[in-house]
Structure 1
Amino acid sequence: MNRGLSRKERLRKTYEFLQVKSNGVSIRQAPFWIQAHENFSGPSKLGVIATKRLGNAVARNQAKRLIRELFRKHKHNLPFTMHLVVLPRRSIFQTPFTNLETLFIDALNKASNRL
């Protein structure tokens, strides 16, 4: 059983990221920013943008793994299907995972209320 995200659950094309950025809402938390856009067909999708400002390749990959795990564990809590773009910040590494979960759920709820 594969517990990761399938290709159908990931934003992969540039136009998908741009669509979320231009038409969605932005929620800022300390460890990450979430941009969300309502999706009318298909499953919820996740895209992660980890820039070099976050750190070296090891740090960027660790942040992406944390975000993907948060999405995987809580995608069933979404009230409707969404496209999400998450931009991790440096404080993601100092925040315990349980706090990241509560902040992520809170951000998803705020985003769904604003859409």
Structure 2
Amino acid sequence: MNKERRIKKNQEFQEVFKKGQSIANRQFVVYILERKEQDYFRLGLSVSKKIGNAVTRNRVKRYVRQSFLEMEDRIKTGNDYIVVARKPTQAMDFHETKKSLNHVLKRASALKKY
């Protein structure tokens, strides 16, 4: 993810949390805020210390970023996405993470129809 595609500032996170809609499954909560002026999507990650130590949290974040990168052409543009990881993610491998994110994004209608 290049820098323009990341959500880093607290103010931007709070805006998506307050104005966006949320969809969840057991592993992830995804907040989506529509931004018509953007021709790309932006991604923010939130992985709590409850998930585990720094190594575990960084692995979860890496898996989520890679999943979004691999699904990039299928994800609707013009949106901000914030992915909040829940406790079960600490024991998941990459393929389980990708499958779970795919499921929650499908439920949110955030994937393009082919």
Q: TM-score range by the shorter chain?
A: 0.7 to 0.9
TM-score by length of 2: 0.84
Q: 1 CA distance for matches of 2:49 and 2:96? A: 24
Return the letter of the residue paired with 1:30: R
Which residue does 2:48 correspond to in 1?
51
Which residue does 1:10 correspond to in 2?
6
Give the unaligned 5+ runs of structure 2. none
> Does structure 1 conserve the Cα–Cα contact (< 8 Å) formed by 2:23 and 2:29?
yes
The secondary structure found in structure 1 opposite 2:73 is: helix
Distance change (3 Å), C-alpha of 1:108 and 1:11: same
> Does structure 1 conserve the Cα–Cα contact (< 8 Å) formed by 2:32 and 2:81?
yes
Which residue does 2:77 correspond to in 1?
80
Shift of 1:81: 2.3
> Does structure 2 conserve the Cα–Cα contact (< 8 Å) formed by 1:24 and 1:37?
yes
Shift of 1:75: 2.2
Q: 2 CA distance for matches of 1:80 and 1:62? A: 26
Task: Give identity over the alignment, percent.
Answer: 27
Higher mean C-alpha deviation, range 45-54 or range 77-86: 77-86
Q: 1:9-49: per-residue Cα shift (whole Å, max 9, x none)?
A: 10011121111101111111122111111121222010001
> Does structure 1 conserve the Cα–Cα contact (< 8 Å) formed by 2:64 and 2:98?
no
Shift of 1:101: 2.1
Give the unaligned 5+ runs of structure 1. none
Which residue does 2:20 correspond to in 1?
24
Q: Which has the higher helix share?
A: 1
Q: 1 CA distance for matches of 2:56 and 2:94? A: 16
Higher mean C-alpha deviation, range 9-18 or range 95-104: 95-104
Q: 1 CA distance for matches of 2:71 and 2:15? A: 23
Runs of 4+ that moved beyond 6 A: none
Shift of 1:72: 1.0
Which residue does 2:100 correspond to in 1?
103
